[in-house]
Amino acid sequence: MRIAIDMDEVLADPISKFVSRYNQDYNVPLDLTMEPGYEFFHHIPEHINHKWYDYINEAGFFRDLPLIEGSVEAVKKLQEEHDVYIVSAATEFRNSLVDKYDWLSEHFPFISWKNIVFCGNKIIKADVLIDDRIKNFVDFDGRKLLFTSPHNLLVTDYERVDNWQQVLEKIQQQPAAKL
């Protein structure tokens, strides 16, 4: 089975880095409460909420993102039995390409460069797509696993996974039909 996995908010945690940067630059509290259905920047004071775009375009922003808990172990397990690809819309932010490649090489060295897809639109053919953004499910024909993030908590139209243990359980319980 071919499994495609998104990076940001699925393998890597950019939200905690945004919160940390806002706290460092503007003294926005680290205990920022994320309301369901909203992006993190909707919770930032209006006069500085545009700054996220500057952060995300900086060289190095994506290089040191924290891991989503359990992601490395789960992806290793998936790779033992499946064809795993990392699929990221890395071309959206020019400086993210090298950062994301280096981040993957550090944290997921067992994923071959041949199994890393940096793209704009995720027009991929796979049996399963694990992603936090429903826009990536629109033209996807396989099984859609929505990885929980604050911005998608109000979405109910997709099969949801809250963590990597649930991903493993769902794929083991109900494997997708092979391509």
What positions carry a catalytic annotation? 6, 8
3-state secondary structure of 159: strand
CA distance 160 to 115: 24
Q: What are phi and psi of 104, to 5 degrees?
A: -65, -40
Contact 97, 91 (CB under 8 A): yes
Cβ neighbours for 109, distance < 8 A, ≥ 6 positions apart: none
Closest CA to 19 of 59, 60, 49: 49
Tokens at 84, concatenated: 């795993």
Give the pairing of strands 116-118 and 2-5. Answer: unpaired
Q: Are 113 and 83 in contact (CB under 8 A)?
A: no
